[in-house]
Amino acid sequence: MFGRYHKFLGEQSIQHNLRERWHRARRAWNDAVAIEGSSYPRIANQFERGEKLTSMAEFPASFAAQLQRYREALTKPTIFRWQTASPNPAMGRRGRLAERLSGRQRKPLSPVTADGYSRNLVLLAGYLVKDGVPLEHFTSPTSLLDPDLLVRGLERMQTDILAERAGHRLGTPARGDEPAHRDPNEPLPIVTAVAYSVLSLAKYLKPDAETFAAIKSIASNTRVRRKGMTAKNKARLSQLANPGAKALLLNLPAQVFARYADVTKPTFKQAREVQDACVLAVLLELPLRITNVIYLDLERHFHRPVGNAPGKWLVSIPGHEVKNDMDIDGEFTEETSRLLGCYVKLFRPVLSAQPSSTLFVSKTGQVKRRTTLSTQFCNFIRRETGLQLNPHLMRHFAANNWLDAHPDDPETARRLLNHRSINTTLNSYVANRQRRSFQQYHDLLDGIKLASGEAPKRTFDFGRRRRGDAK
């Protein structure tokens, strides 16, 4: 019955998260009906993976302790330029130090990224245990720096995940914004992520040159260099091909502020809605990465008119806070600057009682988590417009708008997105250029049709003659 219920949800329901809707019914059944002493069965979670991997707690304590030290090293800032490869042991002590200091400066990772690297290493070890490697083998993360074991674990991971996805599990209907098929020879994104996590570990532990080169080669071979956007992003961005949908999105921030134009003492719900509108306004005019959006600070990043006078807000983000180490210097229009000023003065104080200079502040006065702000933005856009968008798509939206209007000026699109290389911009929006080529070709065909005037009369009859017709 629960299986048929989930099938019914997939075919009939307009709910967004069908799996959670199914879980609510399952949990209600287990809590209220299938209680202890009842003859009714409990409904198991049929979305769980069939076989769980080894958790961190099951590995030797030394493995977890050294992994924690590795995580702390990734997030520790340094002013020196350390070389990634191992120094030459034949040199003296001073020579080895000088060689290590001659490399590229290592930018410290965020705690979230470092945690992700650690989880990926545990995931690899779990698949190796599943493939028959004894649990006692992993006394240290160094045991993962074996090229043969790395290939073995990555192949087992690829095989198991693809088999799981291909299996007939409950609740996996095809989604409209996902590709219809995947090349089985193409490494999964998680496989690539795990391979590069091992490469990061090798840079930290510095094995011998041969081992390091082998690990680097394995990681490079798992990386799929794609051109253009993913199928999911293309499908979601196609929602904005309609001029009406595009205008709806562009006008949304002003409409939300107009909704509360007479409010003098806003509620928390109203302030949160205005905050969402401000996030959209920022992304429309300054297509930042979401990490830079959450860290926007009124004291460090903005230059506002003196005395809260009308005028444009200037934005300046130093390169060390940006993914590619490139400074960001931009400005907002006077309209958006006015909306941001209203948000900061009237609505922002309602969101947190704690003193803070963060623009998009949380209840505790701290910076919002990236996933929190992203989810908040997605829900706001879907609730107000019916569109399914995420913050990163606003960068694609900005580049597509410019390239549609100025196909011969990708340099401006590069500067808008703050790409280091023009090739990054060209490779990311190759579909835009191809679509533009088809439009130009269709315009050419229309011109030929118009120039030909009336349709020519047929001079030959190639139809089959009926039997008995005169020759």
- Both ends of the chain: CA-CA distance in Å? 73
Distance CA 46, CA 254 (A): 45
Residues 231, 234, 240: CA angle, nearest 5 degrees:
155
Residues ≥6 apart with Cβ < 8 Å to 392: 289, 290
Angle between helices 189-205 and 209-222 (to 10 degrees): 160
The torsion angle over the Cα atoms of residues 302, 306, 307 and 308, rounded to 10 degrees, is -50
Say how far apart CA 89 and CA 207 lie, in whole Å.
Answer: 12
Cα maximum dimension of the chain: 106
Report angle CA 360, 262, 352 to the nearest 5 degrees. Answer: 25
b/e for 172-192, b at 16 or more Cβ within 10 A?
Answer: eeeeeeeeeeeeeeebbeebb
Question: Domain ranges in the chain?
Answer: 1-48, 56-165+176-222, 233-297+339-411
Rounded distance between C-alpha atoms, residue 274 and residue 153, angstroms:
48
Of 132, 147, 151, 385, give the one whose Cα is nearest residue 245: 385
Tens digit of pLDDT at every position of the chain (471 positions): 888 888 888 777 766 677 888 888 988 998 899 888 888 888 887 766 556 777 888 888 999 899 999 998 888 877 665 544 445 555 566 655 555 544 444 677 778 788 889 999 999 999 999 999 999 999 999 999 999 999 999 999 999 888 877 764 444 444 444 444 466 778 988 999 999 999 999 988 889 999 999 999 999 999 877 667 777 888 888 898 888 999 999 999 999 999 999 999 999 999 999 999 999 999 999 999 999 999 999 999 999 988 778 899 999 999 888 888 899 999 999 999 999 999 999 999 999 888 889 999 998 888 998 889 999 999 999 999 999 999 999 999 999 899 888 888 889 999 999 998 888 888 877 666 677 778 778 888 888 888 776 666 666 565 666 666 555
- Residue 310, pLDDT score: 84
